Structure 1
Amino acid sequence: MPSHPAVVLDLSANGVGIIHALARRGIDVYAYDTKGPYSKGKSRLASCAVCPSPLTEEKALLTFLKGVAIKFDQKPVLYAGADDYVVFISKYRAELSEYYLFLYPEHSLIEDLLDKKKTYDLAMKYSIPTAKTFFVETDEQLDEAIFQLEFPCILKPVFGHEFRKHINKKAIKIHDAYQLKRVFPVYSKYGELIIQELIPGDNQTFYKVAAFFDDDMNLLSLFTLQKNHQFPAEFGTGAHIVSKRVPELVDIGVPLLKELGLKGVSMIEYKQDPRDGQFKLIEINPRFWLTHSLTGHSGVDFAYSYYLYLTGGDPAPQLEQIDGVQWIYLVRYFLTFLEKRRNGEMTWKDFLRGFKGKKVYALLALDDPMPFIRSTTSHLWNAWKRNRKE
């Protein structure tokens, strides 16, 4: 039996995926999150509890985690499923490394990747194709951007994890200059914004390449995937995706991650522009991503390889994957289907076809039903409230 426990910070579907991957291999898992996510994500496969916020209670969370770790005979492996926790762990890495096992790149790089301005600068430095982007701080810069823009375009926060505390959107679609001038000052109250061209193409033009590099930047895990559907349908996160090896993504993504020194687990998202066929950079995440639970069912188990490496297990590199395995976040897939059906973009036949073949569910699990029940109830309740407002 594995002797090192695992501590997971995050009880969203991302964190629950880590719990499932480890607990089913006999690893003792302890999972924590702030009160809201905890109430929706508590798992029977882990010992779960509420923890202080990494945003507003840093010192309390540091004390809390030290108190958790000293109860164990062996250092726990520390996992984070959300940006807030990644930043916290990285910031306090010197103290936390005395109590936990984890692997992150330099703190300055993590900060750069969570800042869309600096990510854009990295794209320019390494000649990575990206959407046309404008950084606006004054009325004059806004007018200049409008002069150069084609509409519709999108408005995005520079710091997405900070912005979503106030506005639960990844991006806002802007249809014309009048709307942009009207809403820009409204949304800018919640943080810095960028204006970006809208790359055409449906959900299936989104791809990800993920990698796990060890301390010496040796590649231990590699995975690529394609989105089929996301939630919300226009600007959202994965609802239905499929494992798919995309050699071109491997060729451009892996050298970039290595050049940046992104040790540990990381992921790059691209969108393929149908106008020129180029894969254009969307974001780089220095952490486990929402749909990582697909990897273990496709022959590349990121969560377990990370555990083995940090506990001296010397995992063999997993660089080949099984293609065609589908990952389904059931309630989000259903709600996205309803939205696309209203717009004439999807039929019941299309929806049911999404369940054919080998598949894994984000949360649906007979041995751990409550995360699925809570998440489904919450999503349906929120959808009902939105429909009432409309």
Structure 2
Amino acid sequence: MNHDIPAVVLDLSANGIGIVRALRRKGIRVFAFDTSRNYRIGRTRYATCGLCPHPVFEEEALLRFLLAFGERFPGKAVLYAGADDYVQFMSKYREALADRYLFLLPEAAAIDAVLDKRLTYQAAVAHGIPSPRTYTVDSRSRLQELLPSLQYPCILKPAFSADYRKRMNKKAIVVESAERMETAYAYYERFGELMIQELVPGEDENVYELGALFDDEMRLLAVFTGKKLQQYPPRFGSGALAVSVRDEEVIELGLRLLRALSFKGFANVEFKLDPRDGRAKFLEINARTWFWHSLATRCGVDFSYLYYLSVTGQKPEAATTQREGPKWLYPVRYLLAFLERRAEGGANLAEWIRRLRGETEYALFEWSDPLPSLRSFAAHLKSIRLRKNHPK
């Protein structure tokens, strides 16, 4: 295989670092960029790292930056996006970027459908994918219409907008009563259109994720499933501990939806097992690798490398089987999740320790590249101090 073509990774979170390390282990030269905070934390010796303009607030500057950077290569470099903001940016400027980079994205309409949660829900329902009941709320009068029919607890969350997602600093708000819904909506409506969604019961370990990669002809190149054992923040966060588990129902439902959407390139589909009927309920799609995709690499499904081979025209063999059992751990987030659950009276120390047994892939830590893990640990501690000093 030819590994001479360089790669450019936009993202230096655990997601992006997973891409960087997978490629560098194959001998591929990697450049990685991100905005200030992630750059300070995620700089890794496996890539030439640097700062870049923000993909939402400085998108034209980022386009100029990438086009200028691409001129240094005799041919096109392979471009990766490790975060939704970069995916949205690449989709918007795909024609200009294609002059300097190799990449594969679904059509713009499919990208819009996964970034706008209203369209995502409509697509899932249209293709027969079990989903929690969801309502769009664009006014207080619409909220008043819905209040008598809502079942509590339920979820209030943004429909779309990178800006207010960041300002809310949370995926969703759990609402326990009609009175609380009115209060919450009055506060959060300033951030844009919102959605009310049925809360699928169950703990973090009910959340399953499908990773998939289709080539430009919609040939399946990679598939992997796993489930979260702990999220941070608990219930509506990103992974802190996950395990490789093959689940055929999740695979069937996820691939059915992705094929219906002609979803080329990377895809991550999240489901939650509903204990009320035993069925997997669709939650969301992302057009990228996911936070703990390095677990898939450890288990024999190297998404980053297969993507590289595909977009460079090297026709890789598909990877559709996985080793089950290995875990993925983000230690500082796992500790913080335990402390938060313990404060609520819902954590068991023995169970928390027992879950750490077995083969483990670490989110950031490697003996040969320890600094991203140490910087992340320090950043999380700083964040805790700031929250204590400035309580809401």
With normalisation by structure 1, the TM-score equals: 0.97
Following superposition, the deviation at residue 78 of structure 1 comes to: 0.2
Following superposition, the deviation at residue 361 of structure 1 comes to: 0.4
1:198-237 map, 5 Å: 198-237=199-238
The corresponding residue for 1:74 is: 75
CA distance in 2, matches of 1:293, 1:160: 28
Is 1:162 matched with 2:145?
no
Is 1:261 matched with 2:262?
yes
CA distance in 2, matches of 1:233, 1:176: 21
The corresponding residue for 2:11 is: 10
Do the aligned residues in 2 keep the contact of 1:8 with 1:31 (CA within 8 Å)?
Answer: yes
Question: What is the identity, as a one-letter code, of the residue corresponding to 2:318?
Answer: P
The DSSP-based 3-state class of the residue aligned with 1:150 is coil
The corresponding residue for 1:35 is: 36
1:1-390 map, 5 Å: 2-159=3-160, 161-388=162-389, 389=391
CA distance in 2, matches of 1:47, 1:164: 30
Question: What is the identity, as a one-letter code, of the residue corresponding to 1:179?
Answer: R
CA distance in 2, matches of 1:318, 1:220: 6
Question: What is the identity, as a one-letter code, of the residue corresponding to 1:363?
Answer: L
Do the aligned residues in 2 keep the contact of 1:160 with 1:170 (CA within 8 Å)?
Answer: no
Unaligned stretches of 5+ in structure 1? none
Do the aligned residues in 1 keep the contact of 2:56 with 2:162 (CA within 8 Å)?
Answer: no
Following superposition, the deviation at residue 160 of structure 1 comes to: 5.8
Do the aligned residues in 1 keep the contact of 2:165 with 2:171 (CA within 8 Å)?
Answer: yes
Question: What is the identity, as a one-letter code, of the residue corresponding to 1:134?
Answer: Y
Percent identity reads 46
Do the aligned residues in 1 keep the contact of 2:9 with 2:79 (CA within 8 Å)?
Answer: yes
For residues 245-300 of structure 1, the C-alpha deviation after alignment (integer angstroms, 9 at most, x for no partner) is: 00111122112211210010101101111111111110011111111111110010
Greater Cα shift, 278-287 or 65-74: 65-74
Greater Cα shift, 379-388 or 31-40: 379-388
Following superposition, the deviation at residue 313 of structure 1 comes to: 2.5
Following superposition, the deviation at residue 238 of structure 1 comes to: 0.8
The DSSP-based 3-state class of the residue aligned with 1:281 is strand
Do the aligned residues in 2 keep the contact of 1:5 with 1:74 (CA within 8 Å)?
Answer: no
The DSSP-based 3-state class of the residue aligned with 1:60 is helix
The DSSP-based 3-state class of the residue aligned with 2:100 is coil
For residues 129-179 of structure 1, the C-alpha deviation after alignment (integer angstroms, 9 at most, x for no partner) is: 111112112222212221111111111001263332211100011121111
CA distance in 2, matches of 1:266, 1:250: 12
CA distance in 2, matches of 1:285, 1:360: 22
CA distance in 1, matches of 2:161, 2:324: 31
CA distance in 2, matches of 1:119, 1:196: 13
CA distance in 2, matches of 1:160, 1:151: 26
The DSSP-based 3-state class of the residue aligned with 1:169 is coil
Do the aligned residues in 1 keep the contact of 2:34 with 2:51 (CA within 8 Å)?
Answer: yes
Question: What is the identity, as a one-letter code, of the residue corresponding to 1:374?
Answer: R
Following superposition, the deviation at residue 220 of structure 1 comes to: 0.6
Count of residues paired in the alignment: 390
The DSSP-based 3-state class of the residue aligned with 1:238 is strand
With normalisation by structure 2, the TM-score equals: 0.96
For residues 169-199 of structure 1, the C-alpha deviation after alignment (integer angstroms, 9 at most, x for no partner) is: 0001112111111121211111211111211
Do the aligned residues in 1 keep the contact of 2:127 with 2:260 (CA within 8 Å)?
Answer: no
The DSSP-based 3-state class of the residue aligned with 2:50 is strand
Question: What is the identity, as a one-letter code, of the residue corresponding to 2:122?
Answer: D
Unaligned stretches of 5+ in structure 2? none
Do the aligned residues in 1 keep the contact of 2:11 with 2:34 (CA within 8 Å)?
Answer: yes
Question: What is the identity, as a one-letter code, of the residue corresponding to 2:332?
Answer: V
For residues 218-237 of structure 1, the C-alpha deviation after alignment (integer angstroms, 9 at most, x for no partner) is: 10101011110000012111
The DSSP-based 3-state class of the residue aligned with 1:291 is coil
The DSSP-based 3-state class of the residue aligned with 2:293 is helix
The DSSP-based 3-state class of the residue aligned with 1:256 is helix
The DSSP-based 3-state class of the residue aligned with 1:163 is helix
Do the aligned residues in 1 keep the contact of 2:67 with 2:97 (CA within 8 Å)?
Answer: yes
The DSSP-based 3-state class of the residue aligned with 1:290 is coil
Greater Cα shift, 370-379 or 136-145: 136-145
Runs of 4+, deviation exceeding 4 Å? none
